[in-house]
């Protein structure tokens, strides 16, 4: 395991590739969480009977489509929190040593 960790530290590109792969996987899980659980709850709270993506409000003749934006922001915030706490809890900052 020590050799593997040394290899990861020295090869920044490999670490970057692993990060992209894990990021894609985490993104799919978080998107499913937001789409299937969080958005329906918010839709019920906001009164958007057809789902959060269709949530709108109207100012005069202008219809403001805010539901999709809110869903995307929630998706981003949850992904950011998962990545932040994942790095903190797993203490992954030690893997990113600078070459001496």
Specify the 3-state DSSP secondary structure of 69. Answer: helix
Question: In the chain, count of helices (H) and strands (E)?
Answer: 4, 2
Q: Is the pTM of this model over 0.75?
A: no
Q: Which position has the higher pLDDT, 6 or 25? A: 25
- pLDDT tens, position by position, 23-56: 788 788 888 888 888 878 877 887 766 777 777 8
Structural domains of the chain, count:
1
What Cα–Cα distance (Å) separates residue 89 from each residue in 45, 84, 86? 33, 9, 5
- Residue 52 in any domain: the answer is yes
Q: Is residue 39 part of a domain?
A: yes
Residue 81 lies in a domain: yes
41 inside domain: yes
Q: Which domain holds residue 29?
A: 16-94
Domain assignment of residue 11, yes or no: no
In a domain, 90, yes or no: yes
């Amino acid at each position: 395991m020590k050799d593997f960790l040394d290899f990861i530290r020295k090869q920044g590109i490999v670490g970057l590739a692993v990060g992209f792969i894990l990021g894609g996987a985490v993104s799919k899980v978080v998107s499913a969480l937001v789409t299937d659980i969080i958005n329906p709850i918010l839709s019920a709270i906001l009164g958007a009977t057809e789902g959060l993506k269709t949530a709108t409000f109207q100012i005069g003749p202008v219809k403001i489509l805010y539901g999709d934006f809110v869903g995307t922001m929630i998706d981003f915030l949850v992904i950011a929190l998962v990545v932040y706490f994942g790095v903190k809890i797993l203490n992954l900052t030690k893997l990113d040593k600078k070459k001496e």
